Amino acid sequence: MTKKYNLTRRGVMKLGILSATAPVLGKTLSTPAFGQDLGPGNQFVGDVGGRDHERLYTGHPVIGGGQMEIRLNQSIYTDDPHELEVARRMRPFDPASWYTEWNRVAQINEEIAVGYEEHGLNVSAHQFYMRASRFHRLSIVYQEDTDATMMPGYTKFRELFDKAWELQTPPFERVSINVDGNQLDGYFRKPSGPAGTRFPAVIAYQGADSLAENTLMGGGSYTARGMAYLVVDLPGQGAPKRLKNLYMPPDTERFVTPLIDYLETRLDVDPDRIGLRGQSMGGYSAPRAASGDSRIKAVLMSAGSHDLLRDLFEYYPPIQDRVRWIIGARDLADTRRRLRDYTVEDVARKIECPMLIGYGPKDRIMDPEGAFRLYNAAVNSDRQMWAGAGHPHHEAKSGGPLDLRLPTAQDWAARQLGAVG
């Protein structure tokens, strides 16, 4: 008989199950948490980036949505001259400087793109419009909702993204789906294949400051493995929040049902092989959604969460005002009261599909203990833990050099949904 373990982060550390060795020890312990080998890459030991994360992180809170002290670390793995220039010029913990420096390099890249376009060099123009769009997105990534830079930065981000794809054949379709009586825009990608092929599909549930246009570009790692990929800005995110004042409620499962309804209308999607991916705050929304719709056949998440009050709001104070904005609370006291309902405790037993619950042992944004509480609550799911899958600024295996970021989630999804990859 398989021995059951009450998994907490502390308990796992006592067992000696570290992020690099979990798949190996999982075979020895035969526990449900570590029942499936997540791939040879997960046996790497050590910090593949070779930099001292602690030295680069100062930990000072900032006013507003507040991930700036984390995101100052983003350039440690890059050789991009503009990212390095921003890192050198930025005044630490100065929101105005953050916006100014990213906006400055965005304008430089837009000017380069315009020059290429004027000479009919559309491939190069596309490349630099995309860079400019990304830098505008970074300029507002943590801004308060009332900040005067928020909407101009967001508008420019969208404008240049659209401009870039006017010059190239996009690898996606633009879609509009009715969700709770609101038409919400998103994107659909699919693999190449013979006409009439019905692909498994993954719905991406984003995090607090994610935008569909960015999440979309990560879909290529799923389509490469034979899965279609759908991402829509939902209430509390992207365009619905900024343009329609739609907030994120506790029962996020009601938003995923119309997305599945949409996928079932497509002749290129297999309705019996639909999975859900959540990241950051989506690590709460994804399992919550799986509790409410049996058509979801697999759920994978990075930074899995049991409840947002403990796991995010109290664990990482700099993000508190951003959470207030996302859920539409009046002030932080109102946010705290409302967040008592943002939990999977009462619905976790309804999750019956397999789950891959990611967490980051060094995650400073989402409490890794929450992932273990989710594991313990979802007793009817064939679930397992995945270490090194928190917010990537602090996790070497998910946040190191791009070519060393492990495709654990994509490979797991492909196996669960019977994809070719």
CATH of the domain at 97: 1.20.1440.110
124 and 189: one domain? no
179 and 155: one domain? no
313 and 353: one domain? yes
Q: What CATH number corresponds to the domain at position 341?
A: 3.40.50.1820
Query: What is the value of pTM for the model shown?
Result: 0.81
213 and 273: one domain? yes
231 and 122: one domain? no
249 and 371: one domain? yes
255 and 182: one domain? yes
In a domain, 15, yes or no: no
244 and 366: one domain? yes
Q: Which amino acid is it at 10? A: R
Q: How far apart are CA 307 and CA 87, in angstroms?
A: 34
> pLDDT tens for residues 29-73?
233 444 445 444 444 323 322 233 333 333 334 333 334 444 444
294 and 358: one domain? yes
Report, in angstroms and rounded to the nearest whole number, the Rg of the chain calculated over CA atoms. Answer: 21
184 and 292: one domain? yes
239 and 262: one domain? yes
State the pLDDT at residue 158: 95
Number of domains in the chain: 2
Mean pLDDT of 177-201: 93
**Residue 118 sits in which domain range?**
54-166
In a domain, 34, yes or no: no
Domain boundary among 132, 166, 200: 166
> pLDDT tens for residues 78-132?
678 888 788 778 776 677 888 899 999 999 999 999 999 999 999 999 999 999 9
